[in-house]
Structure 1
Amino acid sequence: MHEWLINFLSRLSLEERWLEALWVCKAWLPVCKDLCLNSVFDLETHFDSVSGLRRFWTPEFESRIDNMIGSVVGWSGGSLTEIRVRHCSDRSLSLVARRNSFWKYQA
C-alpha cells in the first residue's frame, strides 16, 4: 500500500499534499513525509496563481513559509534539491544549506 500511496501522492501538487492529503488520516501522514515526495519544494505555481500577493508579505506569512521549509528539510533527509519560493527568511536558507549537500535557490 505504501508504494501505491506514494504513486498517488506524487501526482498531487505540493499545495494539495499540504492542505489536503496530510490531513486525510493518520496512515497518510508518514507517507506524505517520504523522502521521494520532499526533494523539491516549489510554491511558484501557487504564487503565480494568486492575485493580490501584497497581503501575503507579512511577518506571519514569512513564518508560515519558514515552518514549511523547516518541515520539508527534515522530511527530505538531506535530499532537498530545489526550493522555489518568493518569501522566506535567511534563517530558512541557512537551515537548508546546513542540512542538504546540494540545493538550488531560485528567487
Structure 2
Amino acid sequence: MTDQPRQVGGGRRTLGGFAPKLAALTDDVLFDDVWNRPELSARDRSLITVAVLAAGGDTAQLGFHLGRAVENGVTQEELIEAITHVTFYAGWPKGMGAMGVAQKLFTD
C-alpha cells in the first residue's frame, strides 16, 4: 500500500497557536504515524473514519473527514451508502445528522 499519497494533518495550522501539544499529536502521531501505516490504505482508513464519526454523532469532525475521504478515492455514492448503512446500527438521529453534513458538503 505504498502507492498512496502521504497523509498530512493540519493540527499545527488550525490549533498550533492555541493548543500546541494537541496540534503536534494530531500531526505527528495521528496523521504522520497512524494514517500512514501500510496495513490499510488511506481510502480504507477514510471510510472507517467516516463510519465511526457518523456512528458516534461527531458531526463537527465529519465534514473534514468526508472531504479527506474524497481526496483518498472514496466516491460520494460510497459515502452516502456508508452513512445509510451506519444509520441502522448507530441510530437514526446520528445517521440523519451525518447525512446532513454530507449533503451540505456535496451540494455547496
* Superposition TM-score tier, normalisation by shorter sequence: 0.3 to 0.5
**Larger strand proportion, structure 1 or 2?**
1
TM-score calculated relative to the size of structure 2: 0.34
TM-score calculated relative to the size of structure 1: 0.34
**Larger helix proportion, structure 1 or 2?**
2
